[in-house]
Amino acid sequence: MRFDYKAYHIHCRARHDEDGQFYPHVTITRGHDEGGAHGETHHSGELDAFANESDALHCARAWAIEWCDEAAA
């Protein structure tokens, strides 16, 4: 799942492990500022384990939005 939120580009995905669980992961990028500052990328790491992909992606999306709100503050 990819979406934009505020000034960030967010890519959420869920890795399906051999244990049958889905592990959400988020990559958040922010482009270059008009003033020439370099872009930045943040990786969440695996957030938790879920029985299905939908729940894992929901967790990843909620985590990304919260991270962006805190980073922008």
Strand partners, 2: 11
Q: Which position has the higher pLDDT, 73 or 33?
A: 73
Q: Is the pLDDT of residue 72 over 60?
A: yes
Residue 33: the pLDDT is 58
Tens digit of each residue's pLDDT (9 = 90 or more) over 3-56: 999 999 999 999 999 999 999 999 999 976 555 456 799 999 989 999 999 999
The contacts of residue 45 (CB under 8 Å, 6+ apart) are: 25
Report the side by side order of strands in the sheet with 40-43.
2-5, 8-16, 22-30, 40-43
Give the residue ranges of DSSP H helices in 1-73: 53-72
What are the structural domain ranges in the chain? 2-72
Report domain 2-72's class.
alpha beta
| 25/34 Cα distance (integer angstroms) | 29
